[in-house]
C-alpha cells in the first residue's frame, strides 16, 4: 500500500511549561501543506527498508521503523514487509518530515489490516512515536496542545500561498529545546489565530503568526532572522520559522509574488518551495 505523507507548518507555537517528565507543554496552530513524502509498505519475505535519499537512516533512528515496530507489536502482526520511502521533505526543517512518515505507517497498517481504529486510538499510538505524529494523522488544520496529543480541528475558511526557504543548516529539535528557557513572555495570539482562520480574516491571521522558539533559533544562528526579514522586505505579509526550524515561510495571497520569490531565491538557498494549504 502506498500513501502520501504531508508536511506541516506552524502558524503559531508557544511553549507553556516544562513537565516533570522532561517534555514541554505546547500551544500550536498547525496546517498541512502540499509538500509530501511517499511511503509504500508491501508484504515481503523479510523486513527491509529503502529510501531514495542516502543520508536518511533506514534503521531504528528513523520514525518509520519506530512506528512500524510499534504497530507490529501492538497488533501481533506476524507478516514481514518491504518499506520504501521517497523523501521530498527536508530533514531538521520544522516541517514534521519524520513525524508525518510515522503517521503514514499507522494509517497504512490501519487500512492494510482493517484494524478499524478510532481517531483517539490512532492518537494514542501516534504520541508514543513522536510529538507531531498525532497531528500528521489527519491532514487537517488544527489546534494542537499538550505534548501534541490534543488535536482539535479548525474549520478553516482562509486560503493563502506559502513560500518556504531552508538554509544550508538544519536545527535539531532536541538540541533547541535543551537550550530553551521558559519565560513569562507569553504569546497572546493563540485564540486570535484560531478565530482568524475560522472567520476568513487574513490580516488578523498574519498579525497572529508567532513562534516562541524563533528567538532562540536566531541566537543559535542569526541567519534565521536574516531570512525572515528578507521575506518581509520582498513583500510577504507575514514570515516566521516553522517548528524548531530551520525552514522559514512567507505568507501571501498573491500567487505572482510567490512565483517571483522562487526565481529570486532559488539560487541563493538550497531549498525553496512554493506551496499552499491542503484539506
Instruction: For residue 157, count CB atoms less than 10 angstroms from its CB and return exposed for 0-12, middle for 13-18, buried for 19 or more.
Output: exposed
18 is catalytic: no
Considering the domain architecture, whether residues 173 and 137 belong to the same structural domain is answered as no
Considering the domain architecture, whether residues 196 and 170 belong to the same structural domain is answered as yes
The pTM score is: 0.94
Q: Which three cell numbers stand for residue 75?
A: 497488533
Q: How far apart are CA 80 and CA 124, in angstroms?
A: 24
Say which of 14, 101, 132, 237 is annotated catalytic: 132
Provide, rounded to the nearest whole percent, the portion of the chain with pLDDT above 90: 85
Strand 238-241's sheet: what is its strand order?
238-241, 248-252, 161-166, 271-276
Q: How many domains does the chain have?
A: 2
Considering the domain architecture, whether residues 58 and 145 belong to the same structural domain is answered as yes
Considering the domain architecture, whether residues 81 and 21 belong to the same structural domain is answered as yes
What average pLDDT does range 81-101 have in this prediction?
A: 97
Q: Which of 153, 180, 215 is the last residue of a domain?
A: 153
- The model's confidence at residue 184, banded by pLDDT at 50, 70 and 90, is low
Say which of 8, 66, 143, 273 is annotated catalytic: 8
132 is catalytic: yes
Considering the domain architecture, whether residues 103 and 214 belong to the same structural domain is answered as no
CATH number (domain holding residue 259): 3.30.70.890
| Residue 143 bridge partners (DSSP) | 29, 152
Residue 44's nearest CA partner among 8, 2, 6, 79 is: 79
Considering the domain architecture, whether residues 215 and 258 belong to the same structural domain is answered as yes
CATH number (domain holding residue 130): 3.30.230.10
Considering the domain architecture, whether residues 124 and 224 belong to the same structural domain is answered as no
Per residue in 197-226, pLDDT (tens digit) is 999 999 999 999 999 999 989 988 999 999
Phi, psi of 162 (to 5 degrees): -130, 140
Strands 271-276 vs 161-166: parallel, antiparallel or unpaired? antiparallel
- The model's confidence at residue 25, banded by pLDDT at 50, 70 and 90, is confident
Residue 224 sits in which domain range?
Answer: 161-276
Per residue in 6-15, pLDDT (tens digit) is 999 999 999 9
- The model's confidence at residue 22, banded by pLDDT at 50, 70 and 90, is low
Considering the domain architecture, whether residues 124 and 239 belong to the same structural domain is answered as no
| Residue 6 bridge partners (DSSP) | 36
Considering the domain architecture, whether residues 167 and 57 belong to the same structural domain is answered as no
Considering the domain architecture, whether residues 137 and 222 belong to the same structural domain is answered as no
Residue 94's nearest CA partner among 189, 199, 207, 227 is: 227
Considering the domain architecture, whether residues 45 and 93 belong to the same structural domain is answered as yes
Q: Which of 95, 127, 153 is the last residue of a domain?
A: 153
Considering the domain architecture, whether residues 188 and 147 belong to the same structural domain is answered as no
Q: Which of 120, 153, 186 is the last residue of a domain?
A: 153
Amino acid at each position: 500500500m502506498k500513501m502520501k505523507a504531508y508536511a506541516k507548518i506552524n502558524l503559531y507555537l508557544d511553549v507553556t511549561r516544562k513537565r516533570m517528565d522532561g517534555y514541554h507543554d505546547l500551544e500550536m496552530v498547525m496546517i498541512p501543506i502540499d509538500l509530501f513524502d511517499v511511503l509504500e509498505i508491501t508484504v515481503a519475505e523479510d523486513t527491509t527498508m529503502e529510501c531514495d535519499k542516502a543520508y536518511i537512516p533506514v534503521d531504528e533512528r528513523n520514525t518509520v521503523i519506530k512506528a512500524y515496530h510499534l504497530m507490529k507489536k501492538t497488533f501481533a502482526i506476524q507478516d514481514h514487509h518491504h518499506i520504501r520511502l521517497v523523501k521530498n521533505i527536508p530533514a531538521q526543517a520544522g516541517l514534521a518530515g519524520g513525524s508525518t512518515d510515522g503517521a503514514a505507517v499507522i494509517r497504512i497498517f490501519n487500512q492494510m489490516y482493517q484494524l478499524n481504529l478510532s481517531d483517539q486510538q490512532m492518537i494514542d499510538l501516534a504520541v508514543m512515536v513522536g510529538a507531531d505524529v498525532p497531528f500528521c494523522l489527519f491532514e487537517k488544520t488544527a489546534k494542537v496542545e499538550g505534548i501534541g496529543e490534543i488535536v482539535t480541528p479548525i474549520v478553516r475558511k482562509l486560503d493563502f500561498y506559502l513560500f518556504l526557504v531552508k538554509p544550508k543548516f538544519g536545527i535539531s529539535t532536541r538540541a533547541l529545546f535543551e537550550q530553551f528557557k521558559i519565560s513569562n513572555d507569553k504569546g497572546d495570539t493563540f485564540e486570535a489565530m484560531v478565530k482568524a482562520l475560522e472567520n476568513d480574516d487574513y490580516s488578523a491571521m498574519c498579525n497572529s503568526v508567532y513562534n516562541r522558539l524563533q528567538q532562540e533559533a536566531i541566537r543559535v544562528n542569526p541567519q534565521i532572522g536574516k531570512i525572515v526579514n528578507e521575506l518581509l522586505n520582498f513583500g510577504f505579509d507575514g514570515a516566521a520559522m516553522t517548528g524548531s526550524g530551520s525552514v522559514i515561510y512567507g505568507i501571501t495571497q498573491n500567487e505572482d509574488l510567490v512565483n517571483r520569490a522562487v526565481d529570486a531565491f532559488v539560487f541563493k538557498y538550497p531549498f525553496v518551495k512554493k506551496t499552499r494549504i491542503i484539506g
